Amino acid sequence: MATPLPAHIDPTDEACWSGVRDQYVLNDDLINLENGFFGVPSKPVMAAFEDYNRQVNREGTFFMRNRYPQRLAAAVKALAAFSGVSEEELLIVRNPTEAMNILIQGYPFQPGDEVVISNQDYDSVEETLHMTQQRGRLKPVRISLPFHPHSDEEIVALYEQAITPRTRALLVTHLLHRTGQILPVAKIAAMAQSRGIDVLVDAAHSFAHLDYRLPQLGSCFVAAHLHKWLGAPLGVGLLYIRKDRVSDIAPLFGDTTYAASDIRKLGHFGTTPPAPVMAIEDAIAFHNSIGGGNKEARLRYLKERWVSRARNLPGVELMVPEDPQRSCAIAAFRMKGKDAKQVADYLLQAHRIFTVATKVAGVDVVRVTPHLYNTTADLDRLVAALAQLA
């Protein structure tokens, strides 16, 4: 970054945030408000990634044999420091689907064990649970989460009420990907722990979006993306398992080399591209140059910018909790009498605003996800476009 940013950046300081915006290559053709799929990396991260890719492909096997082991170890070390856990508790994976498959398929479920899930967890995670159910090892029990909760206790109680003597684990998505709602994971985990039940946390969207360290989630098992909100290049995620629980998880990918207590036993998934892994350190450095707290506050401010105005438009129903603290960058809405796909198409075709139509708990919604490079003017254009439609 040309001028170092101050330790505290006011979320409303447009001059300062426009300096952050300059750190991204922007697509002038449209206003991208669909940054939930993956977050484009910043210029410094892309420059480093491209260098690494060139180096890997220039040096070939020499690089893989002689340099990559140290580079991988350095990435794990940096990620562990950033996440507040030890290197022995972390595995760099390709994405949370992989991490969740390792966890769910490797967890010592017994026939008849129940896993509490919600009606808003991620599809591929649910698929993994259902496949494991078909193999006779567990039974998912689904609860319905409200779009507009009144308190953390209301959410904790929903999970608690679904617990039976057969419950072995809860699957909890920290930040619901389609509506942006943040669940009180630490409180859910404390309740579960008091009953001897594990919580598997899907932190795909919350990691490096909300400003926290992994132990604060209070769970022994967490899966997350690094190419969504941390801003690493596509193809990296993390799996965290608390040290004393590693031996409980059996390897999904064949391994007889490592000790049962060594998390590397779970990472035998073959050759994967090194450059995204090497760029994790650059992504952490860029994230830290902004500051996790500053980033979270700005993302929440951008979401509130459009949500607080759209709330007053006739026919617009917001599918995100009213309390700004219960969501951050992501929010969703629907329009009375209008198909979500038509609304998203209208925004793109008439206004060059890119969002996504999706379905959550049977309800069609449009999801809106600003990134750090979006401006308040981008969000104001969204609101103006919706006002024309309302």
Ligand X SMILES: Cc1ncc(COP(=O)(O)O)c(C=O)c1O
Sheet with 167-173: strands ordered across: 90-93, 237-241, 221-225, 198-202, 167-173, 114-118, 139-143
Residues 6 or more apart in contact with residue 198 via CB below 8 angstroms:
107, 168, 169, 170, 192, 219, 220, 221
Between CA 333 and CA 108 the distance in angstroms is 40
**Nearest one of 151, 145, 148 to 172, comparing CA atoms:** 145
Options 41, 96, 251, 370; binder of ligand X; rule CB under 6 A = 96
State in angstroms the smallest separation of the CB of 227 from ligand X: 8
Binding flag, residue 369, ligand X (CB under 6 A): no
Q: Which is nearer to ligand X, 177 or 381 (CB)?
A: 177
Q: Which is nearer to ligand X, 9 or 241 (CB)?
A: 241
Binding flag, residue 367, ligand X (CB under 6 A): no
Between CA 343 and CA 334 the distance in angstroms is 9
Q: Which is nearer to ligand X, 101 or 294 (CB)?
A: 101
Q: Which amino acid is residue 375, in one-letter code? A: T
Question: 308 in helix, strand or coil?
Answer: helix
Between CA 330 and CA 75 the distance in angstroms is 28
State in angstroms the smallest separation of the CB of 170 from ligand X: 15
Q: Which amino acid is residue 172, in one-letter code? A: V
**Nearest one of 365, 354, 370, 355 to 301, comparing CA atoms:** 370
Determine the interface stretch with ligand X among 5-13, 121-129, 183-191, 286-294 (rule: CB under 6 A).
Answer: 121-129
Question: 145 in helix, strand or coil?
Answer: coil
Determine the interface stretch with ligand X among 39-47, 70-78, 89-97, 189-197 (rule: CB under 6 A).
Answer: 89-97
Binding flag, residue 137, ligand X (CB under 6 A): no
Q: Which is nearer to ligand X, 117 or 383 (CB)?
A: 117
Options 71, 137, 205, 287; binder of ligand X; rule CB under 6 A = 205
State in angstroms the smallest separation of the CB of 67 from ligand X: 27
Binding flag, residue 173, ligand X (CB under 6 A): yes
Q: Which is nearer to ligand X, 208 or 383 (CB)?
A: 208
- DSSP letter for 42, please: P
State in angstroms the smallest separation of the CB of 83 from ligand X: 17
Options 125, 185, 186, 230; binder of ligand X; rule CB under 6 A = 125
Interface residues toward ligand X, by CB under 6 A? 95-97, 122, 124-125, 173, 177, 202, 204-205, 225
